[in-house]
Amino acid sequence: MATDEHASTLWQISAFDRLHQQTLRDPDRPTIVSSTLMAEIDALERRQDGNDALEVFAVCVRVQEPALVYLRFAELVWPVTLFPAQGVYHAPRPLTEAPESSLVRVSSMAIEPPAVRPPGQARGDRAAPDDSYYALAPALWRLALFGPRGRLLNEIGGTAAYRVLRNPALDDLPLPGALAPAVERLRREAASLKQIAGWPGMSLERAARLLNALYLGANLMVSRSGAAARPEPRKSLFGWLGGR
Interatomic CA distance for residues 92 and 74, integer angstroms: 16
What pTM value is reported for the model?
Answer: 0.86
Furthest CA-CA distance within the chain: 58
Domain range summary for the chain, segments of one domain joined by +:
3-146, 154-241
The dihedral of CA 149, 152, 154, 156: what is its sign? Answer: positive
What whole-number distance in Å separates Cα of residue 227 and Cα of residue 29? 52
Each residue's pLDDT, cut to its tens digit, for the chain (244 residues) gives 344 444 556 677 767 666 666 665 555 555 578 889 999 999 999 999 999 999 999 999 999 999 999 999 888 889 999 999 999 999 989 999 988 888 999 999 989 999 888 887 655 555 677 788 999 999 999 999 999 999 999 999 999 999 999 999 889 999 999 999 999 999 999 999 999 999 999 999 999 999 999 999 999 999 999 889 999 987 643 444 544 4
